[in-house]
Amino acid sequence: MLAEIICIGDEILIGQVVNTNATFLSQELSKIGIEVLQVTSISDNIENIKNSLENAMEKSDLVVITGGLGPTNDDKTKIALCEFFNDKLVTNAVVLEHITKIFKDYVKKPINELNKKQALLPSKAKILINDYGTASGMWFMKNKKNVVSLPGVPFEMKHLMNEKVIPKLRKHSKSHIVNKTLLTYGLGESHIAQRIESWEKKLPKDIKFAYLPNLGRVRLRLSSKGTNEKQINAKIDNYIAKLLPLIKDIFVGYEEDAPIEKQIQNLFKKNNITLAIAESCTGGEIGSRLTKIPGSSDYFLGSIIAYNSSIKKEILGVDDQIIKTHSVVSKKVSMEMASKVRVRFNSTYGVSTTGIAGPTLGDSKEKIGTVYISISKKDKIITEKFNFGNHRERIILKTVNKVFEMLLKSIQKL
Amino acid sequence: MLAEIICIGDEILIGQVVNTNATFLSQELSKIGIEVLQVTSISDNIENIKNSLENAMEKSDLVVITGGLGPTNDDKTKIALCEFFNDKLVTNAVVLEHITKIFKDYVKKPINELNKKQALLPSKAKILINDYGTASGMWFMKNKKNVVSLPGVPFEMKHLMNEKVIPKLRKHSKSHIVNKTLLTYGLGESHIAQRIESWEKKLPKDIKFAYLPNLGRVRLRLSSKGTNEKQINAKIDNYIAKLLPLIKDIFVGYEEDAPIEKQIQNLFKKNNITLAIAESCTGGEIGSRLTKIPGSSDYFLGSIIAYNSSIKKEILGVDDQIIKTHSVVSKKVSMEMASKVRVRFNSTYGVSTTGIAGPTLGDSKEKIGTVYISISKKDKIITEKFNFGNHRERIILKTVNKVFEMLLKSIQKL
């Protein structure tokens, strides 16, 4: 089954929002073996919507549309769909009751005329009731092709997709797509390519191989498609088995198993150990990323964000003399931060970051992009110095990736 | 001038990366008055690239392509462009020298054959040298239409766009697009729409108006287009002046002025005051968001991420008895956290979050989604209780948005 995704909204075309809906839809369709040929973003314009839908239906068996279903006048998707399918809007009594209930129970405001209009829906579509909002999903069939229209609010779209669209599609999809992605840290893509050149040349045509470089790591993806999932998996695994010995020094795990934050969490829990962090230049990003994973409270005790130098002394307890002698961005201060936070939080591991994200130099004499990372255990401390370039956001994200890499490697040895 | 963006990469179509390149390009083109008609994402496939390019050139004067320019075999964009423009690849000596220098100075590894191949470029294109990487940009002209091909690595793409593409386009673009976006917090879109209905009806056809609801806030955007920027601005401002009295209780500022994190920073600096945070359920996200803005170290001293309950006692110094009597997620503990962090960091403001992001209840008897936020000053403390639903990531992000809203409103009163 082939699919196209159409995202509707002027906010996408002026760059006011990042189109994460397309990412989610692509992931979910791929997982059940539906290949996404194209993602198209267009404005809230009736003619554009109709044209894009027509083009998409020529190439694909399934078109998933998001956006343009809100109660306000700037939303045009329902009108466009009615014109395209030669349909008209009728009041759906079940949806009207559902909307009324939402306003009574959650919004705690009276329902108004705009809200009521959201129960006006195309007569030919199967209606997908939106448990978390007032914009219903719609499923049209025409010449054996499926057109599904979903709201643009990510939370509501995801709910409808997971609960009401994917289960139905899964029944009809006979093919499987298998993606396996190896996470590597520490070597650039061209040098990996050189190293694995003869392995790559031997890959059969039906296995696609891609390099995805990003902020200090390169992901290597093998993909294949077919009707027998077990067979495809076995074939890919066979090639991975030959790849692994070539990259064992840079390989940290599989992305599909879990993001690196989740792999770290799993290892901490398995070893029954705990973590505390002293973040400086990363400003809280490490803690924020780790705590996005449910269950993180089982091992992550907390952090001290010592953004201002004085906090490194007063809250973390780093010796004033050490800061004066070595400066805040130094090996010695980094080590002190990691040890002190470990001791203060009484955790198994203490991690620290201190560096200069720029654009100004602050209290330091080092260059912009200089970052020290330390990992402290009771009997051991590792400190490394990096230069992550001169772009503030990249420096922060590269530091976070490097912390995760160092931490994972350190616990894997336990 | 009308534009289309084409993003190339299988990783987009299987949802492995979020297409932030499209967002950036849309923003930058809009800023200089170029209207983006469509964003299309397709796979690394020569036929698809040629077809999409042909379709785009029918409707648009400018096509910006990103991706597929890497040194490895999965990248096909240069081949597709050569076929499309009936061109051939030739070695560009300047680019070869540039690549050699990058490997010598930064990568500190010898240049290999794959790297050298990146100096092979189409003979008919104007080459845009990539100061931060080895994949050059290319600019083709055909029948007065512009086709610009840029690398997919966001940092390199942004550099080429800002330094080498936008300055040239600006000279040719005669029209202007003005977007003004009002940030509102605390009222849903349908209720805003009802409140401003008669204002909205009076808007002229050439001003587009949109509602952008997201995680506890609604952005209201007015857009217009024309050749006289001053006139468009004046016209939009005139309508905003009539809108503001209707939404004064929910309006916090303009998005174009600055993101809310920057507005907070500006007010802290203007008032010469400082901030410290005690984050629990938000895990570091507040600090991370504030420190993404350069200059944040001037007012943001740091945080304590008291993720584990014991840290609330031991590091923050919240009274054990208070936690036992009221539980960790309570008004009393929230107030204590905000006051203690303010005193410990010696800051003007102390902010705290404590809540249950789920999926499990943890140490608390409150419902999932319950969050307390406190803002403490020397002589005053504000605490509010919220229920942000039952979706972990949404609870965290809604909490962060609410903290920014409460903090901004509090400082605006100074």
What are the pLDDT digits (tens) for B24-69? 999 999 989 899 999 999 999 999 999 999 999 999 999 999 999 9
Q: Return the amino acid letter for A121.
A: L
* Distance in Å, alpha carbon of B253 to nearest chain A alpha carbon: 16
Q: Return the amino acid letter for B129.
A: I
Rounded to whole angstroms, the Cα distance separating A404 from A186 reads: 12
- pTM for this prediction: 0.78
Residue A1's contacts (CB-CB under 8 Å, 6 or more residues apart) are A33, A34, A35, A61, A62, A169, A172, A173, A174, A175
Judged by phi (left if over 0) then psi (alpha if -120 to 50, else beta), residue A69 lies in alpha
- Residues for chain A: how many in total? 414
DSSP code string of A260-329: HHHHHHHHHHHTT--EEEEESTTTTHHHHHHHTSTTGGGTEEEEEEE-SHHHHHHTT---HHHHHHH-SS
What pLDDT does residue B176 have? 87
pLDDT per position as a tens digit, A303-335: 999 998 889 998 999 999 999 999 999 999 999
What pLDDT does residue B303 have? 97
Chain B positions touching A311 (Cβ under 8 A) are 301-302, 345
Structure tokens at A194: 């050189």
What pLDDT does residue B147 have? 98
Structure tokens at A183: 């996470």
| pLDDT surpasses 90 at A107 | no
pLDDT per position as a tens digit, A15-46: 989 999 999 999 999 989 899 999 999 999 99
| Closest residue by Cα to residue A110 from B113, B191, B67 | B191
* Chain B residue with the nearest C-alpha to that of A209: B74
Establish if B305 touches chain A: CB-CB under 8 angstroms.
Answer: yes
Rounded to whole angstroms, the Cα distance separating B143 from B382 reads: 64
B176-185 vs B251-254, strand pairing mode: antiparallel
* Chain A residue with the nearest C-alpha to that of B391: A155
| pLDDT surpasses 90 at A95 | yes
Rounded to whole angstroms, the Cα distance separating A312 from B45 reads: 52
State whether B288 and A303 contact (CB < 8 Å).
no
* Chain A residue with the nearest C-alpha to that of B107: A188
Instruction: Enumerate the β-bridge partners of residue A375.
Output: A351, A382
Q: Return the amino acid letter for A313.
A: K
Which of B41, B157, B177 to probe the A interface (max A CBs under 10 A)? B41
pLDDT per position as a tens digit, A184-207: 988 888 889 999 999 999 999 999
Please indicate whether residue B176 or residue A337 has the higher confidence score (pLDDT): A337
Please indicate whether residue A225 or residue B242 has the higher confidence score (pLDDT): B242
B300-306 vs B275-279, strand pairing mode: parallel
* Distance in Å, alpha carbon of B411 to nearest chain A alpha carbon: 21
Rounded to whole angstroms, the Cα distance separating A346 from A275 reads: 9
Could you say which DSSP state residue A61 is in? S
DSSP code string of B64-114: EEE---SSSTT--HHHHHHHHTT--EEE-HHHHHHHHHHIIIII-S---HH
Rounded to whole angstroms, the Cα distance separating A179 from A221 reads: 7
Distances in Å between the Cα of B259 and the Cα atoms of B265, B292, B296 are 10, 11, 13
Structure tokens at A294: 């449910």
Which string of b and e fits A177-188 if b means at least 16 CB within 10 Å? bbbbbbbbbebb
Q: Return the amino acid letter for A248.
A: K
State whether B181 and A27 contact (CB < 8 Å).
no
What pLDDT does residue B172 have? 80
Which residue of A10, A48, A211 is in closest CB contact with B72?
A211
Establish if A105 touches chain B: CB-CB under 8 angstroms.
Answer: no
Rounded to whole angstroms, the Cα distance separating A348 from A268 reads: 10
Rounded to whole angstroms, the Cα distance separating B8 from B48 reads: 9
Which of A288, A313, A318 to probe the B interface (max B CBs under 10 A)? A288
| Closest residue by Cα to residue A78 from A38, A39, A44, A116 | A44
What pLDDT does residue B377 have? 96
How many other CB atoms are there within 10 angstroms of residue B242's CB atom? 12
ipTM given for this complex: 0.78
pLDDT class for A359, splitting at 50, 70, 90? confident
Q: Which whole number is the average pLDDT over A125-151?
A: 95
Establish if B200 touches chain A: CB-CB under 8 angstroms.
Answer: yes
Could you say which DSSP state residue B390 is in? S
Structure tokens at A121: 């829906």
Domain annotation for chain B: domains and CATH numbers = 2-172 (3.40.980.10), 176-254 (3.30.70.2860), 260-412 (3.90.950.20)
Could you say which DSSP state residue B162 is in? I
Please report, in tens digits, the pLDDT of each residue of chain B (414 residues total): 999 999 999 999 999 899 999 999 999 999 898 999 999 999 999 999 999 999 999 999 999 999 999 888 888 999 999 999 999 999 999 999 999 988 887 777 788 888 899 999 999 999 999 988 899 999 999 999 999 999 999 989 999 999 999 999 988 878 888 989 999 988 888 889 999 999 999 999 999 898 988 777 899 999 998 989 999 999 999 999 999 999 998 998 888 777 889 999 999 999 999 999 999 999 999 999 999 999 999 999 999 999 988 899 989 999 999 999 999 999 999 999 999 999 999 999 999 999 999 887 766 678 899 999 999 999 999 999 998 887 888 899 999 999 999 999 899 877
pLDDT per position as a tens digit, B299-330: 999 999 999 888 999 899 999 999 999 999 99
Establish if B206 touches chain A: CB-CB under 8 angstroms.
Answer: no
DSSP code string of B341-376: HHHHHT-SEEEEEEE--SSS-TT--SPTTEEEEEEE
Rounded to whole angstroms, the Cα distance separating B349 from B251 reads: 23
State whether A15 and B38 contact (CB < 8 Å).
no
State whether A393 and B292 contact (CB < 8 Å).
yes
| pLDDT surpasses 70 at A362 | no
